[in-house]
Structure 1
Amino acid sequence: MTKLGFDRKRLAAIDPFLNDRYVKPGRLPGTLTLVARRGEIAHLGVTGMADVERKKKLAEDTIFRIYSMTKPLTSVAFMMLVEEGKVSLDQPVHRYIPAWKDLGVFKAGTHKTGFMTTPTSGPMRIVDLLRHTSGLTYGFQNRTNVDAAYRSARIGEIEKAGTLDTMIADLAKIPLEFSPGTAWNYSVATDILGYLIGVISGQKFEDFLHDRILKPLGMKDTGFHVPADKAHRFAACYTPTPKGGMDLQDDPTKSPYLAPPSFVSGGGGLVSTAADYLKFAQAMLNGGVHIDGKHRHRLISRKTLDLMTANHLPGGVDLPALSKSLFSEAQYDGTGFGLGFATSTSAARTLMPGSDGDYFWGGAASTFFWIDPKEDLIAIFMTQLIPSSTYPVRNELRTMIYSALDD
């Protein structure tokens, strides 16, 4: 047993498993798995390539597109404004976006013919944005005429069009999927939080995030684009082929991430490294505090974090009772949703090892993290394959990491 309470052989089995099952057969380009416990790294394993075409090996400092793993950082940034008394969770969103005051719920029609709507049963509130009960959606859900309207306007796509301001204007013309607070649907809501951070703070969202989270935590490789002097560390991104291989989805030498974006996405725009994301995750595990030697920097209070990681779904139910999503970055059974994180309400119902109260999220390119306060445990997984639902690697990693505990 290691001093951090793991069986060495079981931890050491993770990387050969990933290599044999996914990397050698060409299903994933490469993997980085980081496991930390009690404030120390217990395992850091790297396999395969960051760029298959150029035979560039994946490294500990490789920069990845983390997509929706941006959402927890944006949510924490927003809760800083709540702590400062500048906004509250029960306020209506139209207080800050007046054009949304009369948004109705879809009844009939299309974006081409026009929509019929019915009034909402109540206003969309700030809490609805944080917990994805707003009535907004993602176009890639491919489920309804509202989703189709999002795709037509290129709202919430991986390569987003326009700016935060144009997205707000476009959404004022599209009805909600449901009355806010009555259902759960994975959506562009966290992008709206980024917009609101700018409105409420008076500072550009990207500057607020840098000044209040990225800089204090020393997350030097995290941002909304890859600077030229770091481009050689940027991974390629892939999509699966029908025969189980991969096609290049985003060439790191030609990627839109090499320049600052016009649309700054709080829902999915960041690039980062495993080491950087560990700093954020460890601050969360520390109760909202970043500790660097003798220096401490509090991001948010322990009680605010407790609020964020509690289940906020109406009635205390888990996701299967409320979800309308065909896709999200979480499995549903035994899972609730807080303010920016999914949380395990019943580890037994997930049919995987874990702890009630652990919290987590993932990104479109199959990245994933979770934080388990009961076990003082953090796990971060990095790779680059879209979509994240292609392989069950997240479940397999959860099982193998928890199975390596030996104390």
Structure 2
Amino acid sequence: MPAAQPITAAPSAVGMSAAALARVDGHLKRRYLDSGRFPGTQLLVYRRGHIVHNAVQGLADVERQAPVKANTIFRIYSMTKPLTSVAFMMLVEDGRVALDEPVAKYIPEWSNLGVFLGGIAPTFLTRPPARPMLIVDLLRHTSGLTYGFQNRSNVDAAYREKKIGEFELAGTLDAMIADLAGIPLEFSPGEAWNYSVATDVLGYLIGKISGQPFEQFLHERILDPLGMTDTGFFVPPDKAHRLAACYAADGKGGFTLYDDPAKSSYLKPPGFVSGGGGLLSTSTDYLTFCRALLNRGELDGVRLIGPKTLALMTSNHLPGGRDLTEMSTSMFSEATNAGVGFGLGFAVTMDPAKTLLPGSRGEFYWGGAASTAFWIDPAEQLITIFMTQLLPSSAYPVRRELRTMVYAAISASNL
């Protein structure tokens, strides 16, 4: 049976302050909505088994003056990655694949991938990698792959030329895999951390290893069992009126329309099914997924993965126990790096003091390109989900502000 929806409780019943949570809403309204920086927002806070705050403000569609509602459907972009990573780890639990296997075992055309030394596409100078790319490198972003929109190197430029990993996804997963066979790696696997199309590759591998389309596997193993009926790679016609518009920051404190919900490509099934950034969802649906993770991989009798597997996923897997400041070469990151490691699909807080933010050791999180975000804090039994639709996520420090203000609303800590 699908998971039951949690009961709403007064913040005081679970050790939180209603007045402090109201201040978060006031901050969002003054700083981001009244100023014209964001079109609309939704903030959902869950603690100790109850929803204690679920506030919607502003507009989901400015052009049509449609307000954000509790069931508004948002593009969650890279908040797709944790779902894909959990799906892949299900195959690991099934004994179908292992983390230390070379990726080339499943993608033979990648057997001779070199590491970039110089040149431009299609003539690159490369060297052999120090070691093969492993499955674990895909999950923790140490594969040597990249994203074209980082605009940093000739390798990035080759991605852009092939339209690999762009927001407006083109082609198919199979075509991406074939194209990547002709582009060198940014670095030898395991030597650095770089945000990349690696999770899209995981989606491809899920399809290849499971023998069924990636999107079918995701529905059958995660979305349908949990009752996440508003989550998918496109919005069906009967729900199209709930799709928010997506906007892009204009660099002047305002925004312009990026994706009109009445004309969006998300209104039909995609040709490219992106495990790295293709899903749409609601705050309620995403909360269901997060609750299963907070509950050690199970919710209302539906077990996604075992607690030991989840513990493995939410441990820091960066070589040598380093954090992202020591390993990241990425110019595009959803993480604040100091004191933060990376697990198998999530950023993981290792040392809250180094982050200069309140929080707990062992909390795990990520965000999406349109400024959406979530975090799960097992120590405090806390989940926070923030939804909006503004590209890029680096436009404003809203995630840091939310982290500070939501934790300030805890009046009785579990620690």
TM-score, length-scaled by structure 2: 0.96
CA positional deviation for 1:161: 1.2
Which runs of 4 or more aligned residues in structure 1 lie more than 2 Å from their structure 2 counterparts after TM superposition?
A: none
Residue-by-residue CA offset, 1:354-402 (whole Å, 9 max, x unaligned): 0011000000000000000000000000000000000111011111100
TM-score, length-scaled by structure 1: 0.98
Q: Given the alignment of the two structures, is residue 375 of structure 1 paired with residue 375 of structure 2, yes or no?
A: no
**How many residues get paired?**
402
Q: Summarize the alignment of residues 360-371 of structure 1 with structure 2, pairs less than 5 Å apart.
A: 360-371=365-376
Q: Point out where structure 2 has 5 or more consecutive residues left out of the alignment.
A: 1-10
Q: Which residue of 1 aligns with 2:7?
A: none
Tell me the SS of whatever aligns to 2:218.
helix
Query: Which of residues 130, 139, 157 in structure 2 aligns to 1:121?
Result: 130
Alpha-carbon separation, structure 1, partners of 2:149 and 2:338: 22
Letter in 1 for 2:95: G
Q: Which residue of 1 aligns with 2:32?
A: 22
Identity, % of aligned pairs? 66
Q: Given the alignment of the two structures, is residue 77 of structure 1 paired with residue 87 of structure 2, yes or no?
A: yes
Alpha-carbon separation, structure 2, partners of 1:242 and 1:289: 43
Q: Given the alignment of the two structures, is residue 189 of structure 1 paired with residue 194 of structure 2, yes or no?
A: no
Query: Which of residues 107, 110, 133 in structure 1 aligns to 2:120?
Result: 110
Q: Which residue of 2 aligns with 1:2?
A: 12
Tell me the SS of whatever aligns to 1:325.
coil
Q: Which residue of 2 aligns with 1:233?
A: 242
Q: Summarize the alignment of residues 42-81 of structure 1 with structure 2, pairs less than 5 Å apart.
A: 42-81=52-91
Q: Given the alignment of the two structures, is residue 346 of structure 1 paired with residue 356 of structure 2, yes or no?
A: no
Residue-by-residue CA offset, 1:87-126 (whole Å, 9 max, x unaligned): 00000000000000000000111115x1010000100000
Question: Greater CA deviation, 218-227 or 10-19?
Answer: 10-19
Query: Which of residues 186, 196, 215 in structure 2 aligns to 1:177?
Result: 186
Tell me the SS of whatever aligns to 1:306.
helix
Query: Which of residues 146, 149, 157 in structure 2 aligns to 1:140?
Result: 149
Q: Which residue of 1 aligns with 2:334?
A: 329
Alpha-carbon separation, structure 1, partners of 2:364 and 2:252: 34
Q: Summarize the alignment of residues 146-185 of structure 1 with structure 2, pairs less than 5 Å apart.
A: 146-185=155-194
Alpha-carbon separation, structure 1, partners of 2:249 and 2:162: 26
Q: Given the alignment of the two structures, is residue 251 of structure 1 paired with residue 260 of structure 2, yes or no?
A: yes
Residue-by-residue CA offset, 1:325-372 (whole Å, 9 max, x unaligned): 011111110100000000001111000100011000000000000000
Alpha-carbon separation, structure 2, partners of 1:378 and 1:353: 14
Letter in 1 for 2:252: K
- RMSD of equivalent CA atoms: 0.6
Letter in 2 for 1:234: L
Alpha-carbon separation, structure 2, partners of 1:111 and 1:60: 47
Alpha-carbon separation, structure 2, partners of 1:269 and 1:33: 22
Q: Which residue of 1 aligns with 2:21?
A: 11
Q: Point out where structure 1 has 5 or more consecutive residues left out of the alignment.
A: none
Alpha-carbon separation, structure 2, partners of 1:14 and 1:132: 33
Q: Which residue of 1 aligns with 2:308?
A: 303
Q: Which residue of 1 aligns with 2:8?
A: none
CA positional deviation for 1:160: 1.3
Query: Which of residues 280, 288, 298 in structure 2 aligns to 1:289?
Result: 298
Alpha-carbon separation, structure 1, partners of 2:151 and 2:271: 25
CA positional deviation for 1:242: 2.7
Letter in 2 for 1:206: E
